[in-house]
């Protein structure tokens, strides 16, 4: 019998009468325990008819069954609604579960019901959902049951994903996945559904190879995918293929998802598949097809009350209209969607929408408007980065507060000890007057000792404050400076140069370790950490006094040179590439591995007016890094900052290859 069937259904005893004997001739109704077992098998198998079967049994579980059986039924019903993609109905059932569990004094299911109710907030109000999850986590700290732990970690991941905090989201998804692996009998989440969530995250981080690798890990032993999950998998695959430039495969995957959604009557997912199919037509510059498909997606999404997909359909519709020369009409659609995304704080989607807007305006030759949209996008991206930094600082602050509380408790203990000494001293004074001088000397000694200890405590607090300041500006693993320190440096530099007529040559170099995930998967995370530390050491040693080296996040690093002449930038990038690949890296005991790195750089000469700000510079360096990875990795591309004002489409990139004496020929981005 399945996990949900914690309590067996017991039939009360009864006296056999003529009426019951006559009823015995009719087919006996199925026992609730057997019905639950049958229904649970359908939900676990992702059967398309699971929801209909559960709804047909609803009246049998409204009364006449034990509270445990009613809660088990409602849990299956809620999950069937989730699998169908009906979040509103699932939230309504979660409220029923919470009420029934509270009445039965069932703490576990009360927490699970509250969790299901909170999950409904994630799409529209992710910040509120995160706050509610934190409160539920605090209330339910004693619950260690795997079904709650796994579901809570998945909900945290969904909330952080909606807020654009991808590192935090991935961490929570991986925790949930580990719980599911240790407890394979869990109904939900399953490893396969969590892998779908991770693949969706990897779409947002624009890692198509990782997306396809994660989808390839979906296997029979990871839990059956319901029809809705199969549609999502097809759409995610299509997005990844689009990122790789495989237009035909991308459209094929979208059409497969669309067919599944229509076969199983999943209107919200049908709208999603249509919206992505429209995006595929946009990639092919089939503007009319894209307009027709995006319009169809918008209609279906509005009927399904799916505001998220409706907004994305608006963006695609706007791009399709702009592609046909109807630019103002198209921008109105995109601006409408962007306003709604900003109101509901749907930051990742807003970043994508602004990127599309910038691209559409650029294609139309409206460079000033395109740059304004790009700047808006960078401000939102900076907000996401700031939120991530604030979360990290909050953790450090909590650690500091804990240490400070420990110091305060120790101080109170010593103060109480001092009061005890004073009482004993007074008794001694009263008993032996002749010992007054000695008692006075003792009190002076105690006071001196307390003063000395107080001074030591003050010095310790200064050390703790210094440590907190260090950890807030440095990466804990590599010891390099972090994003916060770079932001502060850039703001200070801008303030110092305000009103100046000329600055100094700058070079922004973004570097990404090639195939780092493969190193982690093959050698383990400890080996991956060793690689990060050694790469950081080589970069820092190569940069020397010429530049600052920072850990930008994950396997990405930033090297910033302020004052290095423009003519030396290409050679500097080459030195960085060669230093990392100079020799194998010791990744553990008797384990070595070859490591290479890709680079994207922006050479920004000193200018007299309207220089680029650092966020724009990094965006262009990231564009060059993407080109380096797309061209085969272990290479770099250097962008000339003097040509930036012609727009990204006019940016000139120079290939920088390790082991060569000069840079390659310039290429159009």
Mean pLDDT over residues 543-572, rounded? 91
Q: Check residue 542 and give its pLDDT.
A: 92
The residue with greater pLDDT, 433 or 560, is: 560
**Residue 134 above 50 pLDDT?**
yes
* Cβ atoms 510, 498 nearer than 8 A: no
Q: Which of 611, 642, 378 is nearest to 497 (CA)?
A: 611
| Confidence grade of residue 144 (pLDDT, cut at 50, 70, 90) | confident
- Please give the pLDDT value at position 386: 58
Comparing 425 with 566, the larger pLDDT belongs to: 566
Q: At what angle do helices 267-283 and 307-323 cross, to 10 degrees?
A: 20
Q: Are 74 and 91 in contact (CB under 8 A)?
A: no
- Judge whether 534 and 585 are in contact, CB under 8 Å: yes
> 564 phi and psi, to 5 degrees?
-75, 125
N residues, the chain: 669
Q: Where are the domains of the chain?
A: 1-120, 123-189, 283-365, 385-473, 483-668
Tokens of 117: 């109710």
Tell me the average pLDDT across 240-265.
92
Over the stretch 59-78, which tens digit does the pLDDT of each residue have? 888 878 899 999 999 999 99
Q: Return mean pLDDT, the chain.
A: 80
Question: What pLDDT was estimated at residue 466?
Answer: 56
Q: How confident is the model at residue 409 (pLDDT cuts 50, 70, 90)?
A: very low
Class of domain 483-668: alpha beta
Q: What is the pLDDT of residues 279-289, one digit of tens each?
A: 899 888 999 99
| Structure-model confidence comparison of residues 432 and 383, the more confident one | 383
Q: How does pLDDT run across 212-232, given as a tens digit for each residue?
A: 999 999 988 888 888 989 999
Tell me the sheet residues that pair with 653.
639, 667
Contact yes or no for 120/142 (Cβ under 8 A)? no
Alpha-carbon distance of 455 to 536, in angstroms, equals 39
- Are the CB atoms for 523 and 591 separated by under 8 Å? yes
Average pLDDT estimate for 200-207: 89
What's the whole-model pTM score? 0.52
pLDDT in tens, 150-171: 999 999 999 888 888 888 888 8
Residue 598 is predicted with a pLDDT of 96
Residue 20 has a pLDDT of 36
- pLDDT above 70 for 6: no
The β-bridge partners of 640 are 603
What is the predicted pLDDT for the residue at 406?
A: 41
Model confidence pLDDT, tens digit, residues 309-323: 888 889 999 889 989
The predicted-structure confidence for 322-363, as pLDDT tens digits, reads as follows 899 998 998 998 898 888 887 776 766 777 788 778 777 877
Give the CA radius of gyration of the chain. Answer: 31
Label the pairing between strands 636-640 and 597-604: parallel
Of the candidate ranges 54-58, 247-251, 337-341, the one whose mean pLDDT is the lowest:
337-341
Grade residue 248 by pLDDT with cuts at 50, 70 and 90.
very high
CA distance 65 to 71: 10
Q: Average pLDDT of 379-390?
A: 62
| pLDDT at site 644 | 60
What integer pLDDT is reported at residue 23 of this predicted model? Answer: 38
Do residues 158 and 172 lie in contact, with contact meaning Cβ atoms separated by under 8 Å? no
Spatial CB neighbours of 179, under 8 Å, sequence gap ≥ 6? 146, 149, 150, 153, 186
| pLDDT over 80 at 450, yes or no | no
What average pLDDT does this structure show over 271-299? 92
- The predicted structure's pLDDT at residue 298: 92
| Contact in structure between 508 and 604 (CB atoms under 8 Å) | yes
Q: For the residues 414-424, what does the mean pLDDT come to? A: 60
| Percent of the chain predicted with pLDDT > 90 | 30
Report the pLDDT value the prediction gives residue 127, as an integer from 0 to 100.
81
DSSP per-residue codes, 288-344:
HHHHHHHHHHHHHHHHTT-HHHHHHHHHHHHHHHHHTT-HHHHHHHHHHHHHHHHHT
Compute the average pLDDT of residues 458-478. Answer: 68
Q: Is residue 588 over pLDDT 80?
A: no
Alpha carbon distance 120, 123 (integer Å): 7
C-alpha span between 44 and 185 (Å, rounded): 10
């Amino acid at each position: 019998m399945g996990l949900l069937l914690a309590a067996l259904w017991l039939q009360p005893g009864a006296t056999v009468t003529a009426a019951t004997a006559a009823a015995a001739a009719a087919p006996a109704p199925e026992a609730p325990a057997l019905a639950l077992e049958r229904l649970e098998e359908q939900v676990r198998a992702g059967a398309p008819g699971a929801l209909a079967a559960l709804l047909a049994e609803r009246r049998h579980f409204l009364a006449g069954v034990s509270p445990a059986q009613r809660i088990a039924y409602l849990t299956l019903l809620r999950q069937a609604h989730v699998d169908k993609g009906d979040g509103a109905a699932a939230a309504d059932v979660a409220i029923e579960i919470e009420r029934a569990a509270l009445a039965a004094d069932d703490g576990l299911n009360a927490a699970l019901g509250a969790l299901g109710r909170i999950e409904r907030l994630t799409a529209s109000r992710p910040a509120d959902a995160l706050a509610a999850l934190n409160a539920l986590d605090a209330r339910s700290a004693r619950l260690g049951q795997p079904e709650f732990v796994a579901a809570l970690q998945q909900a945290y991941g969904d909330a952080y994903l909606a807020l654009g905090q991808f590192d935090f989201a991935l961490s929570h998804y991986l925790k949930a996945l580990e719980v599911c692996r240790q407890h394979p009998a869990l109904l939900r989440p399953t490893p396969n559904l969590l892998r779908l969530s991770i693949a969706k995250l990897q779409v947002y981080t624009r890692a198509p190879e990782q997306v396809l690798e994660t989808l390839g890990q979906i296997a029979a032993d990871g839990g059956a995918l319901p029809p809705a999950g199969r549609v999502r998998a097809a759409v995610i695959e299509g997005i990844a293929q689009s990122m790789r430039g495989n237009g035909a495969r991308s459209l094929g995957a979208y059409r497969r998802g669309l067919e599944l959604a229509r076969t199983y009557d999943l209107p919200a997912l049908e709208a999603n598949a249509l919206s992505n199919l429209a995006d595929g037509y946009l990639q092919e510059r089939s503007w009319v097809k894209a307009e027709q498909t995006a319009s169809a997606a918008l209609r279906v999404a509005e009927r399904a009350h799916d505001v998220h997909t409706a907004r994305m359909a608006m963006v695609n519709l706007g791009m399709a209209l702009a592609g046909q020369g109807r630019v103002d009409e198209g921008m109105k659609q995109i601006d409408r969607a962007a306003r709604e995304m900003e109101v509901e704080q749907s930051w990742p989607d807003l970043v994508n929408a602004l990127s599309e807007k910038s691209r559409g305006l650029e294609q139309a030759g409206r460079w000033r408007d395109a740059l304004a949209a790009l700047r808006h996008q960078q401000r939102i991206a900076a907000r996401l980065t700031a939120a991530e930094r604030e979360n990290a600082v909050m953790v450090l602050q909590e650690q500091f507060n804990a240490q400070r509380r420990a110091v305060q408790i120790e101080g109170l203990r010593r103060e109480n000890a001092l009061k005890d000494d004073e009482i004993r001293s007074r008794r001694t004074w009263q008993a032996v007057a002749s010992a007054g001088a000695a008692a006075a000397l003792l009190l002076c000694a105690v006071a001196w000792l307390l003063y000395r200890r107080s001074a030591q405590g003050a010095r310790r607090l200064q050390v703790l404050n210094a440590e907190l300041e260090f950890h807030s500006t440095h990466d804990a693993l590599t010891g390099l400076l972090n994003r916060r320190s770079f932001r502060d440096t850039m703001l200070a530099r801008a303030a110092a140069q305000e009103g100046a007529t000329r600055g100094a040559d700058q070079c922004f170099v973004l570097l990404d370790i090639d195939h780092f995930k493969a190193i982690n998967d093959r050698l383990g995370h400890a080996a991956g950490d060793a690689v990060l530390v050694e790469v950081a050491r080589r970069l820092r040693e190569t940069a020397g006094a010429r530049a600052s080296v920072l850990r930008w996040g994950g396997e990405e690093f930033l090297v910033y040179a302020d004052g290095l002449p423009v003519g030396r930038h290409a050679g500097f990038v080459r030195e960085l590439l060669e230093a990392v690949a100079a020799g194998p890296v010791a990744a553990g005991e008797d384990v070595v591995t070859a490591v290479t790195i890709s680079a994207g750089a922006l050479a920004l000469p000193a200018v007299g007016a309207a220089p680029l700000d650092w966020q724009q510079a990094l965006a262009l360096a990231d564009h060059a890094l993407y080109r380096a990875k797309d061209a085969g990795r272990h290479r770099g591309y250097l962008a000339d900052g003097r040509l930036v004002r012609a727009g990204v489409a006019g940016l000139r990139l120079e290939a920088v290859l390790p082991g060569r004496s000069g840079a390659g020929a310039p290429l159009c981005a």
